[in-house]
Structure 1
């Protein structure tokens, strides 16, 4: 095993009972099992760093049966191994809790071959049942139906990890500024995870300036929030910056400089240096 130097103290601190187990009868055996399963020593180390309990638990009783359940349901091997390597804590729950989470993800209807299936398992593994209920009630208080919450979760499971305050602030802004309904947002739920201060508000300001100057008409859709910063700058800022110079504030200027874009000039010159 190659846990030495600076990597060793944090590992032992995360699971002090490592010191209580036999090196030969448990730690090395588990490490070798993981190394074989994950195809490399580096992958095994990544999994253990994610959850050092993998070194001390009974893998045959705790983890491997869950992997078999996922495999039998049709979850691809690469998705299962990625789950074990990067989110192994989600496989350390008691069997009854894992069964509950697994059944819930199945009921949602996420394709087991999609990486979203694993993401949904991870999210629900981190979210106690009472927290899930509280999140659903929060959505209902914002005008959502439970079916719309399920649709949103199936498309972007991490929308359920956003704080209640963040969801409320974004939803209220989406409704008042863009006229988006809960049904519309549920079909593009990633927007709920966006930072209000860093993405939602600055992009809304760009469109407000363009609207006031007559350069943009029509509805602002989720796509305008979801596109990458570089594409957004090219399409909605640099294209109009000569006619509407006030569109560029300090925040926008910083992003333009970050991507190496050129302010001004013909459309052909408004290109990314590295594009």
Structure 2
């Protein structure tokens, strides 16, 4: 069916070319103005013919030589121009990737993501960049997977972008393995703004952030290093006003969280705490201890705060001391465990503080607070499991 569809498409293009060219010579008139109009029509029809011919070749090449589906080839033909006279270059590109163990599937994915690769020059573009990746540890399947995932590197400058970024990573990350992992996490990294990343790195170090923490920032969340420098400076200054300094073990996490939140989102989350009677200082104390407590949505944060304050009746000091509980699922963790805690409390079995039960791993929680009472409360396990299934 696909081949039949392709033949029909090619037939349509050739018919279009034939009709356009033949219509230009139907009427001959030797009047000057008429001749001029005819010449313009002939020029336009010739361009149409050439365009149709190139489109036909493009779709044919993408399907038969590169292995793309007809649907994908038609779509890509609208984005890239492939002329028949350049077929040898396209063949060389495909052969080059195959010589580096790129499978047919890899080549299809590469062209679908970045069709302009077929128009790249091997000697001055593709080959030097592949060798650059090989020299920097991207060997075997790792090479193919990376190129397919970030084919835009063929549109980047090797000397002005790729090499400087790699040098910067080597400066701040102490092992080749971690550099590769950082690039795989932030696949866009090699094509990012080198000067901005360097500026942010130097600034954080000048502010007193230990080099090993800058390395961890590169390694775990490299995208934060590419933020606009003015934004990074603003966040660093704001952290200072909160009493959060580079010596704080949670500083990098606070920095990351502040960078990811808009000013509006930050204010909304402050209001959630204040609506329950907390002061701004209480909010800051919570954030300083565990910045990740703000990574959830406003809706989730509001739901958690209201449940702990109004239902569980937890003292604010308990929440400030252990703010990670705000990230726990109310339905799957908090409510089921609070149900068990209430049963133990009603039976006068002296359960520990609820917050301690909440922080146990699932295995330890069941062993110490559920199956331990199998003789006293035979239905406790069923009660716990049923409460986890409630909507």
1:261 matched to which residue of 2? none
Give the RMSD, CA atoms, in angstroms: 2.5
Give the total of aligned pairs. 248
Q: Deviations over 1:139-172 (max 9, x none)?
A: 2223222111111110110111122222222222
Structure 2 residue matching 1:71: 3-state secondary structure: helix
Structural mapping, 1:78-89, within 5 Å: 78-89=212-223
Residue 174 of structure 1 and its aligned partner are, at CA, apart by: 1.6
**Residue 166 of structure 2 is aligned to residue 27 of structure 1:** no
After the TM superposition, which parts of structure 1 deviate over 3 Å for at least 4 consecutive aligned residues? 181-184, 250-253
| Partners of 1:142 and 1:168 within 8 A in 2 | no
2:146 matched to which residue of 1? 7
2:262 matched to which residue of 1? 128
Distance in 2 between the 1:96 and 1:181 partners?
A: 39
| Partners of 1:237 and 1:247 within 8 A in 2 | yes
| Aligned mate of 1:223, from 347, 351, 356 | 356
Residue 111 of structure 1 and its aligned partner are, at CA, apart by: 4.9
Structural mapping, 1:211-250, within 5 Å: 211-216=345-350, 220-249=353-382
TM-score when scaled to structure 2? Answer: 0.58
Higher helix fraction: Structure 1 or Structure 2?
2
Larger Rg: 2
Residue 205 of structure 1 and its aligned partner are, at CA, apart by: 1.2
Residue 103 of structure 1 and its aligned partner are, at CA, apart by: 1.4
Structural mapping, 1:161-200, within 5 Å: 161-200=295-334
| Partners of 1:11 and 1:49 within 8 A in 2 | no
Residue 192 of structure 1 and its aligned partner are, at CA, apart by: 0.7
1:66 matched to which residue of 2? 200
**Residue 102 to residue 111, structure 1, CA distance change in 2 (3 Å):** closer
Structural mapping, 1:105-120, within 5 Å: 105-120=239-254
Structure 2 residue matching 1:235: 3-state secondary structure: helix
| Partners of 1:207 and 1:216 within 8 A in 2 | no
**Residue 106 to residue 211, structure 1, CA distance change in 2 (3 Å):** same
Residue 177 of structure 1 and its aligned partner are, at CA, apart by: 3.1
Distance in 2 between the 1:56 and 1:169 partners?
A: 41
Which of 1 and 2 has higher RCO (CA within 8 Å, sep 6+)?
Answer: 1
Residue 115 of structure 1 and its aligned partner are, at CA, apart by: 3.7
| Partners of 2:172 and 2:211 within 8 A in 1 | no
Distance in 2 between the 1:172 and 1:36 partners?
A: 47
| Partners of 1:178 and 1:220 within 8 A in 2 | no
Q: Which runs of 5+ in 2 are unaligned?
A: 1-132
Residue 34 of structure 1 and its aligned partner are, at CA, apart by: 1.5
| Partners of 1:21 and 1:56 within 8 A in 2 | yes
Q: Which runs of 5+ in 1 are unaligned?
A: 256-275
Distance in 2 between the 1:158 and 1:9 partners?
A: 33
Q: Deviations over 1:78-109 (max 9, x none)?
A: 21101111111111111110011111222222
| Partners of 2:168 and 2:198 within 8 A in 1 | no
| Partners of 2:239 and 2:245 within 8 A in 1 | no
